[in-house]
Amino acid sequence: MHIVVVTATHSQIPQTIHGKNFARLARECFANQQSLTIDFKDVKTITQSFFQELFLPLVAEFGSDYLKSKLKIVNMAGHVDNIMQSAFKNLKGYFDKLTTIDQLGCDEEIYTMNQAWLIKAREIARENSVLTELVRGISDESMRSAVGCLSLEDIDFIARSNWLCFTPRFSSQFIQSIKKDSPPMAEAMLGLSGTID
């Protein structure tokens, strides 16, 4: 299987959650005796945690020799490779986070989803309030303002709550219509956005 990172993540700056998702996909490939090629074409930059969440669990589970035979990395720019090398030299934060999550008894996947959602919501809220409503579904102006002011410590605190910070923006009727036949993209966007005046 061949995956282009930018296409799969819809982002030129892949995040922690994307690394976890790629690790899941790698496990599926390996279970089906397939190799996986991850293509970093057009990736502008990347987080250290992307590499940590992608590679470290796989190395622990399958071993480095197996990964060398089944997992290929292509089109990685020099500066992205430097970030990857740095990620493997700076593992204290990664293991501290795992220990903290374990001690607090919170679900690591919910924590990661919350963290990614809140960071992106904060970024959009600071740049464009209209997009905050359309893309993230935050229609309340005071909430948009509050999200835009969150610190990383605030985000981390909320992310550990063990409650998802977002809910589905579509109805059961929308899901039923997808099962019958795929709607056009404009209709899908309207289904996801709810009621926008």
Angle between helices 172-180 and 185-193 (to 10 degrees): 160
pLDDT band at 100 (very low <50, low <70, confident <90, very high): low
Q: Which residues contact 122 (CB under 8 A, 6 or more apart)?
A: 147, 148, 150, 155
pTM over 0.85: no
Residue ranges with strand state E in the chain: 2-4, 36-39, 71-74
- The contacts of residue 110 (CB under 8 Å, 6+ apart) are 162, 163, 164
Report CA torsion sign: 144, 148, 152, 154. negative
Given this model, what pLDDT does residue 195 score? Answer: 45
* pLDDT (tens digit per residue) in 110-151: 888 888 888 888 888 888 878 877 777 887 888 888 988 988
pLDDT tens digits along 45-91: 888 888 888 888 888 888 888 888 999 989 999 988 888 888 778 77
Span of 7-11, 92-96, 142-146, 160-164 with lowest mean pLDDT? 92-96
What number is the average pLDDT over the span 170-181?
Answer: 72
Q: What's the CATH number for 105-166?
A: 1.10.4000.10
